[in-house]
Amino acid sequence: MDERLEKALDFANFMVTLNNQKRSLREKYYTECVYYHNGGSFSISKDLITFVKTLIDLGNTDQVVLIDNNDLPVRIENLNQFLDDIIDQYFIASNNYYNEYQLLKKNRSVEALTK
């Protein structure tokens, strides 16, 4: 096989593997950003954090009902604690994603990417 063709195939294989690993990391991140509370599941996002913080700023801190990912109403007994929990989980997931992505960027071969 022509050496240029072989290099092109190796590079294409590397890019496919890299993109698959990136997609896998992103999916893991989104999974880690799901918070379960009182039988409900909430996808943690900047929007959810901002909305909860706005409710707290408006004086709504106890017995607040939020709609979860499944469009079900969930009563939140202590909104301040809920906010603290989702912020903690968001930053843990974000830091894990960042650290794993940095490791991924350092790999320059298909074998290293799949370890």
- Give residue-wise pLDDT tens across range 95-111: 999 999 998 888 766 56
Give the range of the structural domain holding residue 94, as residue numbers without chain letter: 11-113
User: Helix or strand or coil: residue 73?
Assistant: strand
Residue 104: inside a domain: yes
Residue 4: inside a domain: no
Residue 2: inside a domain: no
Question: Which residues, listed in sequence order, are joined to residue 76 by a DSSP beta bridge?
Answer: 64
Residue 89: inside a domain: yes
Percent of the chain predicted with pLDDT > 90: 69
Residue 5: inside a domain: no
Residue 1: inside a domain: no
Residue 6: inside a domain: no
Backbone angles phi, psi at 60, to 5 degrees: -90, 100
Number of domains in the chain: 1
The per-residue pLDDT of the chain, averaged, comes to: 90
